[in-house]
Amino acid sequence: MGANGVITLTKIRELDLLAPPSPKRPAYLSAASGLVCVHSLIYVVADDELHLGVFGAADNKPGHLIRLFDGELPDSAIKRKKRKPDCEALALLPPHGAYPHGALLAFGSGSRPNRYRGAILTLDSEGAVCAPVQVIDLSALLVPLIDEFFMLNIEGAVVSADELRLFQRGNKANKENAVIRFSLSAALDAFCSETPRPIKPIDVDRFDLGQIDGVPFSFTDAAALPNGDMVFTAVAENTDNAYDDGQCAGAAIGLIDAGGIRWLRRLDQAHKIEGVAARMDGDSLKLLLVTDADDAAIPAYLLSTTIEAP
């Protein structure tokens, strides 16, 4: 933690890979958008790839990729943006039925019809992926939200108690930041069904995260703590919609408890943070974070910080 409550981050590594996802792509992840830590493994989903990155928590060796979706994406940035599945969120599912040791849930943003896909990856007792990837249709959850939000854009997903909570990201024109709460069991049933029925959320909680120079902060990811609190990341990105990128005016980390936003603190630099993993260590909150520079020529970073309990 820096002076006056401003948060400083420490760079751990770049998210370099043993091999690129395709011949003309770089050997690193660039648009890191979701982060989950399980035992000694760090999983990172990138919104402009068809793969999940896997990295060791105890070393800086290059990571490897697990394919989530079939096919290939164009190399052109404009064409790639139109075709990508846009998985912006990665959540850890608890042990359940076919997932005795839990699973990873990669979640599409829903900002366009081709972004309604997700994937479930079964984990073993050591936290490693141990079964073929299950591609899932997210329409049962996302379609009912189209009437709720003018511009749907799911950027984070967490499991808290018996709920799956999705984080809707607002923008400069539509400041609709929200946490959308679903029954976890109903969501899992829908993911496993061949003909899932639409699921209405239990509740929708809206939040005002403030702004910088007229650019509102908007959710970019979240992580659940054992006591039910949720750590979130937010950036002030100068864009009017859920599709186009914009300049990042600032970034922040906050915490939501049962009463709402308990605190929100800015970062000392305008890192575009899009993924967070959190754990408590005594009274300290230990965070890992990943970045998305909106530029394929710039690798994503893995960063860390420690926040002392207020």
Whichever domain contains 73, its CATH number is 2.115.10
Q: How far, in Å, CA of 156 to CA of 33, rounded? A: 9
pLDDT of 53 > 80? The answer is yes
Parent domain of 282: 3-308
Q: How far, in Å, CA of 289 to CA of 305, rounded? A: 8
Are 302 and 290 contacting, i.e. CB atoms less than 8 angstroms apart?
Answer: yes
Confidence class for position 17, pLDDT limits 50, 70, 90: very high
pLDDT of 243 > 80? The answer is no
Confidence class for position 3, pLDDT limits 50, 70, 90: very low
In this prediction, residue 196 carries a pLDDT of 80
* Range name among 105-109, 189-193, 220-224, 274-278 with the lowest pLDDT average: 189-193
Position with higher pLDDT, 147 vs 13: 13
Q: What's the mean per-residue pLDDT of the chain?
A: 92
Confidence class for position 245, pLDDT limits 50, 70, 90: low
Average of per-residue pLDDT across 32-51: 96
In this prediction, residue 1 carries a pLDDT of 44
pLDDT of 239 > 60? The answer is yes
**Bridge partner list, 256:** 230, 261
Are 17 and 32 contacting, i.e. CB atoms less than 8 angstroms apart?
Answer: no
Confidence class for position 158, pLDDT limits 50, 70, 90: very high
* C-beta neighbour count of 56 within 10 angstroms: 12
Give me the number of domains the chain comprises: 1
Q: How far, in Å, CA of 140 to CA of 293, rounded? A: 31
% pLDDT > 70, the chain? 95
Average of per-residue pLDDT across 66-76: 94
In this prediction, residue 242 carries a pLDDT of 46
* Range name among 13-27, 148-162, 166-180, 249-263 with the lowest pLDDT average: 166-180
